[in-house]
Amino acid sequence: MIQQFDFPVRVIRAEGAIVGESPVWSQREQVLYWVDILKPALHRFDPASGQQRSWPAPAAIGSISLAKNGKIVAALRSGFHWFDPADASWTLIAHPEPHISHNRLNDGKTGPDGAFWAGTMDDRADKQACASLYRLAPDGSISAHGNQLVVSNGLAWSPDGRTMYHSDSRRAVIYRYDFDVASGTLGPRQVFVQMQPEWGRPDGGAVDAEGNYWGCGITAGRINKFSPQGQLLGYLPLPVSRPTMCAFGGAGLNTLYVTSLTENMNAEELAREPLAGALFAVDMPVAGTPVAEFGA
């Protein structure tokens, strides 16, 4: 039986993001970082003080990762960059697709191998299968691990690091791969979940300590919980129709932070959903799997 969860959902930031994305919890600082892709901006929220801070980004910012050196790795339209919060500087690392002007980097996350994995997406209205998944190694080298994607999304890893999850939002499918932590290599791609229309298209996801995959069902206003075998166990309804990504945070990693968007919503839709684009926090009965920091 598929369960409908009624976990408490709190509004952390009501100001509507254009495309809120990539919430990342800092264990070191006990704060949350996240982005608004199209503003474009990087945000920081301190739940202890309630203080929020923002930095403008030089280009559309698809995702971020914390790094062991205290900086942040960011996937911008113009390539992978370092961001240093100390002086608000942006420094190019490398661009994986300088020859494809209509693509931009999208969802990304650091894996248990210490590398930042991020995929691209066709940013045109008539999207084509011209995107790829990339691995940015700590030494700055880039390798491709799959192509012919439309919108790369949904990256997450199992608690033991041996399974990687990855989705293509426009194909409405979540994949799984066997993952070699030592080498950062993938096994053959397998279908993990073929999404149904009432579940929404797959967007960003996170894995809990029990190995379940929690994925935002954009267009359906919910977060879906899938077992490690790909069975839909339940879903959490949200007060917005377009959640984009979720991430576990908080001192015990038992708070699920959720971003959302307002992009392409008309006046009637925005009036019906006054919290569209908000950042939410959900008190969860289970903790999340820690996300690695970038670096060797």
CATH number of the domain enclosing 23? 2.120.10.30
pTM of the predicted protein model: 0.97
Residue 289 lies in a domain: no
- Active-site annotation holder among 122, 168, 203, 208: 203
pLDDT of residue 1 exceeding 90? no
Number of domain units in the chain: 1
Residue 40's pLDDT is what?
98
Half-sphere exposure of residue 46, counting CA atoms within 13 Å on the CB side?
Answer: 9
Q: DSSP assignment of 172-226, as one string?
A: TEEEEEEEETTTTEE---EEEEE--GGG-EEEEEEEBTTSPEEEEEETTTEEEEE
Give me the residues paired with residue 279 across strands: 13
Average per-residue pLDDT for the chain: 97
Q: What is the pLDDT of residues 91-106, one digit of tens each?
A: 999 999 999 999 999 9
Is 113 annotated in the active site?
no
Residue 293 lies in a domain: no
Q: What is the pLDDT of residues 171-211, one digit of tens each?
A: 999 999 999 999 999 999 999 999 999 999 999 999 999 99
Residue 143's pLDDT is what?
97
pLDDT of residue 296 exceeding 90? no
Domain of residue 74: give its range: 3-283
Token readout for 148 is 């012919």
Residues 6+ positions from 143 with CB-CB distance below 8 Å: 134, 135, 137
